[in-house]
A and B are shown apart, each in its own frame.
Chain A
């Protein structure tokens, strides 16, 4: 039902921007706008749709956020505070992500920042809402979560239109921030590929504690065996597609450590053994490539 709007087109624009800024779930729109579900979504999707939206909509947002209507409208308010008030407790997780919480959300923070940069905070919020976790979960990067969450995140992004090239990029983007850390600086001291992987072999526990790692340097090769008991990850163990996606991500991750020292990525040969309750991946990396190949790579 299309009716004359009771808020101006400018106010309607601002209202949409506010919904995005606040990360307001779309399921709350009917209640906020005093419209039916279908009309709410039509208003949301079309620039020219003019519905009778009462001015009290802004008052309802004020009730939700505890922030003065004028400040909300002008954008002069704390977005963090408003989002916390709307989105509530960010620490509660679905059962699916409670089992063996051996990871920190920090390990996927670069992915969420990539999404927010390229699609906007609102899109990033939608991704997290689909996973039934609070959009505020990344406020505390030390929040513990399990490997299934990470696998689900990659799967959801694939379902939401991310191409394989883009999903592969997510593994590499991690290194743009890693180089600023203490460990990143250690990698920067490397003079060759051997040094890079020697540093990595001594620091796996800083990246992941879901897998067990066994490193071996023989001749001019680095052998790495990673194993994981899938019985500890019951939501993942029968999901071969998710495991494959996860292993691809990890293979790219392993290849990119030399980038921290200004060297080209070095992709390992892999051999996977997947059993119903156990997964083993052997990586073999040839280190006999000349030191600092002339790609001129530098972390900038």
Chain B
């Protein structure tokens, strides 16, 4: 599935959760950052930004990651749902005077 359809807005919550998830999948198969970066034709530093949630993922990179790290579509959909919840909480933090300090 296309990443822009799954995550039309790769906001910081989406990037954060996707980064964690990708890191989890990479370490589960004992691959190094350099291994995955090379597969995506990225420098290790550029790839670190993705895992750190500081860089958006292009659809091409996403498709390569799905194959290379065996990303699970059900888990990605769950990531999408959680990122929505995280976004609403963050919005509430700004908009609601009663959000816990």
Contacts and interface: CB of A to CB of B under 8 A. Distances in A.
A300 to B, nearest CB: 6
A120 B98 CA distance: 34
- Chain A binding surface SS class: helix
Contacts of A252: 89, 100
Given A13-B30, A47-B30, A165-B89, A268 B24 contact: no
Nearest to B88: A265
Nearest to B72: A117
Given A165-B90, A169-B85, A120 B27 contact: yes
B27 A176 contact: no
A251 to B, nearest CB: 5
B86 interface: yes
Given A117-B21, A118-B24, A120-B24, A300 B88 contact: no
B17 A168 contact: no
Interface string A1-18: 000000000000100110
Interface string B5-21: 00000000000010011
A175 interface: yes
Contacts of B99: 267
Interface stretch (B37-45, B56-64, B75-83): B75-83
Contacts of B85: 169, 172-173, 175-176
B67 interface: no
B33 to A, nearest CB: 10
A119 interface: yes
Interface string A146-184: 000000000000000000011011001101100000000
A248 B100 CA distance: 6
Nearest to B27: A120
Contacts of B30: 13, 16-17, 47
A270 B96 CA distance: 13
B82 A114 contact: yes
Q: How large is the interface on A (under 10, 10 to 19, 20 to 34, 35 or more residues)?
A: 20 to 34
Interface string A257-300: 00100001101111000000000000000000000000101001
Given A17-B30, A47-B30, A269-B98, A117 B78 contact: yes
A20 interface: yes
Contacts of A175: 85
Given A117-B21, A118-B21, A173 B100 contact: no
Contacts of A267: 92, 96, 98-100
A255 interface: yes
30 contacts: A13-B29, A16-B30, A20-B28, A47-B30, A47-B32, A117-B21, A117-B79, A118-B17, A119-B20, A120-B24, A120-B27, A120-B28, A123-B24, A165-B89, A168-B93, A168-B100, A176-B81, A176-B82, A252-B89, A252-B100, A255-B96, A255-B98, A264-B88, A265-B89, A265-B92, A265-B96, A267-B92, A268-B98, A297-B88, A300-B84
Interface of B: 17, 20-21, 24, 27-30, 32, 75, 78-79, 81-82, 84-86, 88-90, 92-93, 96, 98-100
Given A20-B28, A119-B20, 11 more contacts: A16-B30, A117-B75, A117-B82, A118-B24, A122-B28, A169-B82, A169-B85, A175-B85, A176-B81, A176-B85, A264-B88
Interface of A: 13, 16-17, 20, 47, 114, 117-120, 122-123, 165-166, 168-169, 172-173, 175-176, 248, 251-252, 255, 259, 264-265, 267-270, 295, 297, 300
